Structure formats: structure tokens, C-alpha cells
Structure 1
Amino acid sequence: MAFSTGFGLTCMCFIMLLFLPGQGQRQCTMSKPPKVGNIPIACCTKTSNATIRETVDACYEQKKDIRSCKIHAYIFVTRSNKKYCVDPRASWLTTRLEKLKKKGITCKPL
């Protein structure tokens, strides 16, 4: 009996791990990205409301219908060069933008 319960819990944990995205964040898709400065940036196709726990080194604002981008998003580039597409309506975004501004980082338009 203990074997079947343990096996069931193991299977359930494994299935949960398959369906949980990393930190609940979606990275930007990259297909033939143009360059902004030295950083290649592509249009975000999806956004996330999840907070970003990494140190942000750069920020860009993607406006809808500019450069053929279909959605409005903020793109955060982290120290590890990961790019995160953030929903402009995310509850934590205003506070994070203020903190970045104090560090001298402002979101540049794409």
C-alpha cells in the first residue's frame, strides 16, 4: 500500500513540474530581431503579470502597432541577458519602474 501511495505522489509531482512555467514568466520570442543598441529585441507576442526576481539591466517599451508589434508590453533585459515581456497593467510594474529610474534605468521606446 505504501508503495502505491508513494508512487502516486511521485507521479503527481512530476506532472505538476511539467505544467509549471519558470517563475510564471514568458520570455520574448526571438525571430530575426532588430538591434537596439547592442541588445537584439523582438516583438513580444505574449506578456506576463509575474514579478521578475532577477536584476534588470535594461528596459524597453513596445508600443502596439509600431514595428508590426501586435501588443503593448514592457521588455525587461536581465543581467543574465534574459528578456521578459511584461503586461503594462501588471500591479507591480509602476513600483519597479520607479526603482529602476532611481538606478538610472529608463524604458526606451522600441
Structure 2
Amino acid sequence: MPRVMAWTSRLITIAVLIALMGCFTGAQANYRRPTRVGVSCCKEVSGGRIPASIKLMGYKHQNALSPCVDAIIFYTEKEKLCSDPKAPWIKNRLNGLKKIVD
């Protein structure tokens, strides 16, 4: 009988060690280093009116969070235009445009 108990005790110890190793290696596998994220935002704005000849596809309001500034980003087919949200012509230009959500 003592041999059976010793054998069972060893099996339990081995099983616990294997389970602990699985926990530690599983925790390391779930850890991912953060990726580099480039800051792509308006760092300055223009108060100048966007000509009516430029076709706008949509817009997004960008909140100020350094280095980004408070801005309305207008999207055209080829580029993004950073405008001052306090400019008087902004409200009229936003009418009919689709708000873009990232």
C-alpha cells in the first residue's frame, strides 16, 4: 500500500507542475508587445473657405489631443483638408455631408 500512495503522490505532483507550466507559458503567449502607431491627424488648421468646386465626400470632427488640434477634417477623393471648426462657413459646408466614424 505505501508504494501505491507514493506513486499517486508523485503523479499528483507531476500533474500540478505541468498545469503550472501551462499557465505560465499561456500567459506569455497572450502577451503582445504594443505596435507602433503613427500619429495621423491635423496638427494645424486653415480658416480659409474650401472652394465649392472641390467635391467633399465626408467629414470628421477631430478633438484636440496633443499633438492634434481641434479640427474638422474634410475628405475629398484624394486628400484630407484640416479646417478650423470655428470658421463661420463650416456649418453650411457640413450640410448634406456624411459624417465619417473611425
| Pairwise TM-score range, normalised by the shorter structure | 0.5 to 0.7
CA RMSD of aligned residues (A): 2.2
Q: How many residues align?
A: 64
Contact 1:62 1:74 in 2 (8 A): yes
Distance 1:94 1:85 in 2: 15
Q: Which amino acid aligns with 2:46?
A: S
1:97 — aligned with what? 94
Residue 69 of structure 1 and its aligned partner are, at CA, apart by 4.3
1:70-85 to 2 correspondences below 5 Å: 70-79=68-77, 81-85=78-82
Unaligned runs of 5+ in 2: 1-36
Q: Which amino acid aligns with 1:32?
A: G
Give the direction of change, closer, same or farther, for the CA distance of 1:91–1:70 in structure 2 (3 Å limit).
same
- SS in structure 2 at match of 1:94: helix
User: Which stretch of the first structure deviates more once superposed, 56-65 or 86-95?
Assistant: 56-65
Q: Which structure: larger Rg? A: 2
2:38 — aligned with what? 32
CA deviation profile, 1:40-99 (whole Å, cap 9, x unmatched): xx211110011222101121111112xx443110111112x1111000111100011123
Distance 2:100 2:90 in 1: 12
CA deviation profile, 1:11-63 (whole Å, cap 9, x unmatched): xxxxxxxxxxxxxxxxxxxx935xxxxxxxx2111100112221011211111
Contact 1:58 1:78 in 2 (8 A): yes
Residue 107 of structure 1 and its aligned partner are, at CA, apart by 4.6
Q: TM-score, normalised by structure 2?
A: 0.53
In terms of fraction of residues, the more helix-rich structure is 2
Distance 1:48 1:60 in 2: 15
Runs of 4+ in 1 over 3 A off after TM superposition: none
Percent identity over the alignment? 30
Distance 1:70 1:59 in 2: 16
Unaligned runs of 5+ in 1: 1-30, 34-41
